[in-house]
Structure 1
Amino acid sequence: MNIAYWIVAALLAVVYLFAGGRKVAQSQEQLQPMMGWVDRVPMPYVRAIGVLEILGAAGLILPPLTGIAPWLAIAAAIGLFLIQVGGIVLHLSRGEARLIGINIVLLVAAAAAIWLGTTWL
């Protein structure tokens, strides 16, 4: 379980550091081609989502790595799970059901991190 958690957590952390970093650092025009929904959501919310994704990525890795409050990794995975639920709802509300594949993959990976975290941490 230990190795499985680290694989899932590392993959999620890389994805969320990349996506969250883009949301925090790039303008609406730069994000538009990859994330069409940014035209519908105010940029302060987009930036907040990016910050939450970066914090979630750190929360998956740092607490178990340091041994300080490892339960925070489970909380981070739950938070990332909820971000994907919100992403799915947003895509469906925009009539973009064909775009939720990556959201579902990340949702399942976050659920796996939650389960692995509760059995291992």
Structure 2
Amino acid sequence: MTSPLKTLHIALWVVQVVLAATFAWAAVMKLSTPIPQLAVMWPWVGQVSSLLVKGTGIIDLLGGLGLVLPAALRVKPLLTPLAALGLVLLMVCAIVFHVMRGEAHLTGFNIVVVLLCIFVAWGRYKRAPVSPR
């Protein structure tokens, strides 16, 4: 029989990997796709500075890596919940950005990501932290 803590640990890893893949995909899109082509998928991209797009792409990449690597390598695993909190901040900024532009209907995905990142931060800090080597 699986203990509740082991189940939580597995659930956290699944969420961490899914979030990391999501943020890595967004990073690759923002950093490698030409702005006009990217704006077809995300119209806001064509209406802001390319520095904002590239900057958020770098943050996406670093955040995605931070969700997995410190815990997986067991090197400074406290960075994992900190990365999750950083991504909460990024997503809250994205929500505010879209609401200010009259695009509140586009924030559902961001809200789900915020909740998942809060779950990771809570789980990896309080309930199922990863021990360092």
TM-score bracket, normalised by the shorter chain, equals over 0.9
- Residues in 2 aligned to 1:21 and 1:80: alpha-carbon distance in whole angstroms: 17
The alignment status of 1:105 with 2:112, answered yes or no, reads yes
Gaps of 5+ in 1: none
User: 2: distance between equivalents of 1:32 and 1:114?
Assistant: 32
Give 1:62's match in structure 2, choosing from 64, 69, 79: 69
Q: Deviations over 1:18-71 (max 9, x none)?
A: 111100111110111221211332111211110111111111111111110000
- Percent identical among aligned pairs is 36
**Structure index of larger Rg:** 2
Residue of structure 2 equivalent to 1:5: 12
- For 2:90 and 2:37, how far apart are their aligned partners in 1? 21
In structure 2, C-alpha distance between the alignment counterparts of 1:4 and 1:73, rounded to whole Å:
15
| Equivalent residue number for residue 82 of structure 1 | 89
TM-score, normalization: structure 1?
0.95
> What pairs with 1:21-36 in structure 2 (closer than 5 Å)?
21-36=28-43
Number of matched pairs:
121
1:120 alignment counterpart: 128
On the 8 A contact 1:4/1:116 being kept in 2, the answer is no
**C-alpha distance in 1 between matches for 2:38 and 2:101:** 17
Tell me the C-alpha RMSD between the 2 structures: 1.0
Q: Determine the C-alpha separation between the residues in 2 that align with 1:36 and 1:115.
A: 34
Q: 2:47, 2:39 → 1: CA distance?
A: 10
Could you list the runs of 4 or more consecutive aligned residues of structure 1 that deviate by over 6 angstroms after TM superposition? none
> Structure 1 CA distance, aligned partners of 2:93 and 2:43?
15
- Stretches of structure 2 lacking an aligned partner (at least 5 in a row): 1-7
> Is the deviation greater in 37-46 or in 9-18?
37-46
State how far apart, in whole Å, the 2-side matches of 1:43 and 1:101 are: 24
